Amino acid sequence: MTDTSPRATTLALLQRYYDAFNRGDWAGMLDCLSEEVAHDLNQGVREIGRPAFAAFLARMETCYRETLDPVVLMATDDGSRGAAEYVVHGQYIATDEGLPPANGQRYKLPGGAFFAVSDGRITRVSNYYNLEDWIDQVY
């Protein structure tokens, strides 16, 4: 029997989102998001909308090669909130504005995200990781 509870539905949505991330399938990630998704960047500003999220993904694709493993997902019983804890395995391939120069440095970094979900789409993504740890690893 398939679990169709709100919690299971949100967990499946978040799994689809992270599976798309690990494949580099940006269209698949965007398909998980509401049109007006709020994206809280780590130590940055909130960006609103799929176009802003698509621009973020394009910058990420230019500057970083990352996979997340393992990814542990959690969700509330009503499915309105979710969370993920993961380890980023990455390579810094092109200098990102305001950050140290890139020359292919590899890094491994724990991170996490919090989500709001409504009508089968992610309406908010808030990402967190230790930027100082990342900077120490790429210097």
- On the question of pLDDT at 44 being above 90, the answer is no
Domain residue ranges in the chain:
6-138
Element (DSSP H or E) covering residue 128: strand 121-129
Q: Which amino acid is at 125?
A: V
CA 119 to chain centre: 20
d(CA 91, CA 103): 9
CATH topology of domain 6-138: Nuclear Transport Factor 2; Chain: A, (3.10.450)
- On the question of pLDDT at 60 being above 90, the answer is yes
Q: At which residue do the structure tokens 């978040």 appear?
A: 14
Which pLDDT band, with edges at 50, 70 and 90, does 73 fall under?
A: very high
Taking a C-beta distance cutoff of 8 angstroms, is the pair 16, 28 a contact? Answer: yes
Q: What is the pLDDT of residue 3?
A: 83
Q: The pTM is what?
A: 0.95
Give backbone dihedrals phi and psi of 24, rounded to 5 degrees, phi first. Answer: 70, 25
Q: What is the pLDDT of residue 43?
A: 83
